[in-house]
Amino acid sequence: MSAAVMSVRARLRGLSLAQRAALGLLMLLAVFAVAGPWVWPDPVAQDLSRFLEPPSLSEPLGRDHLGRSVAGRLASATRLSLLIAVACVTTAIVAGMLAGILAAWRGGLVDTVLHGLSEAFVALPALLIVLMVSAMSGGELWTLYAGIALAQWIEYFRVVRARSALLLSGPAVEAATLLRLGPMHVLRRHLWPDLRPLLTTMATFGIGTAVLAVSTLGFVGVGVAPPTPELGQMITEAFPFYHEAPWMSVAPALVLVVVLVGLLGLRTKESAS
């Protein structure tokens, strides 16, 4: 247990100031998203008598045009976005990496089929893929998850395949083969140490992209079906009231920007000085 704590500390020390700030920001947001349901148990409960109520101590972000608690809806929407994003990126990385290494390693027909498929997919904007999948059965969460994961695995597949093919045909792996070191050695010492930093960077991009995709779909009206709270949908709903009730639109927009800034900050390599 204490060893785990130590290793977390060691990792934190390696981070730059910007990265630590970004991590803190994202943690804060995660706490807000997770703790939300205890404070605001029902994010869809309407109270039309309190519509467009301005922020107060008991309702820190005010209420919307249907008298729903904006803070409660925001916590719920944030949780939804982050959960979908993490689930999609995890799925996409695992699938993309396995397929990529398989294609690079086996070559031949496996590679031809997978590579051909990815060539077709790569001409499709990711948003288009998500839109099409969500068209199959609109508004359901699984289509959103499936669509985003389907759109994202291609990237991991292509990068992992290209990088692995380069490494596998390179002199280091050739030497390992002559030394009769098996596939586990190649995976653990050659491929994984090389792919890990690449995938980590891509994953932070991917989570941002996924959060953005969910909210974009909500914004154009083909995402998560109302009344389930969702960031993009909240912004659309709030826009007509931007003058009377700015808290309604500013709050979800801010959360979206904070997620993206946080993920962006994680990638900055500025030194901690």
Partner 1 sequence: MADRQAAVVGVTTIPPLLDAEETVEATRVERGAVRRGAARPILRVLAQRALQAVSVTLLVSTACFLIVQNLPGDLAYRIAAGRYGYDRVTAASADAVRADLGLDAPVWQQLAGWWADLVRLDFGTSLVTGAPVLHELYVPVTSSLHLAGTALALALAVGVPVGVVAARRPNGLLDRVTTVWVAGSRALPPFLLGLLLILVFSVHFGWLPAVGHGTASNVVLPAVTLAVGLSGLFARVTRDTVAQIRTSDFVAFAESKGLGERAVLLRHVLRNAGVTLAAYVGVQALVLIEGVVVVESLFAWPGLGHALVHAIFWRDVPVVQAAAVALALLVVAVNTVVDVAGLGLDPRPRRRSVPS
Partner 2 sequence: MSMHLQDVVITHGGRTLVDVADLHLPRGEAVTIVGESGSGKSLLAHAVMGTLAAGLTARGRVTIDGTGYDLAERSARRRLWGRVMALLPQEPVLALDPTMRVRGQVAEGAPAFRSDRRSAYHAAEQLLGTLGVGDAARSYPHTLSGGMAQRVAFAAATVGGARILIADEPSKGLDTHAREELADLLRQHVTGDGVLLTITHDLDLARRLGGQVLVMREAAIVERGTAEQVLTNPSHAYTQRLLAAEPSRWQHPWVSATGSPPADEPHAPFLIQADRVTKGYGKRDLFSDVTLTIRPGQRLALAGPSGSGKTTLGNVLLRLLPPDAGKVVHAADLGGGRLQKLYQDPAVAFPSRVPIIVGLRDVLRRHRPEPGRLEKLMGAMRLSEDLLHRPPGQVSGGELQRVAIIRAMLLDPLLIFADEPTSRLDLVTQEETMCALMEQVDRSRCALLLVTHDLALANAVAHDVLTATTPPADPVRQGHAGQLGSSSSTPPVHARK
Per CB under 8 A, residues contacting partner 2 are: 170-172, 174-176, 178-182, 185, 189-190, 193-194
Cβ contacts of 266 within 8 Å, gap of 6 or more: 19, 22, 23, 26, 204
Please, are residues 59 and 53 in contact by the beta-carbon 8 Å criterion?
yes
| Dihedral sign for Cα atoms in the order 15, 17, 19, 24 | positive
Count Cβ atoms below 10 Å from residue 20 Cβ, excluding itself.
Answer: 15
Instruction: Decide if residue 109 touches partner 1 (CB under 8 A).
Output: no
Site size for partner 1 (CB under 8 A): 55
Please, are residues 89 and 207 in contact by the beta-carbon 8 Å criterion?
yes
Report the nearest approach of partner 1 to the CB of residue 213 (Å): 5
Q: Which is nearer to partner 1, 40 or 114 (CB)?
A: 114
The residue type of 158 is R
| Dihedral sign for Cα atoms in the order 148, 154, 156, 157 | positive
Using CB under 8 A as the binding rule, the residues of this chain from 167 to 206 that contact partner 1 are 167, 169-171, 198, 201-202, 205-206
- Nearest-10 crossing angle of helices 192-220, 126-136: 60
- Vertex 175: Cα angle to 173 and 180 (nearest 5): 95
Instruction: Decide if residue 108 touches partner 1 (CB under 8 A).
Output: no
Residue 40, contacted partner among partner 2, partner 1, none, CB below 5-8 A by kind: none
Instruction: Decide if residue 155 touches partner 1 (CB under 8 A).
Output: yes
Using CB under 8 A as the binding rule, the residues of this chain from 210 to 249 that contact partner 1 are 212-213, 215-216, 219-222, 232, 235, 239, 242
Q: Which residues bind partner 1 (CB under 8 A)?
A: 116, 119-128, 131-138, 151, 155, 158-159, 162-163, 166-167, 169-171, 198, 201-202, 205-206, 208-209, 212-213, 215-216, 219-222, 232, 235, 239, 242, 253, 256-257, 260-261, 264
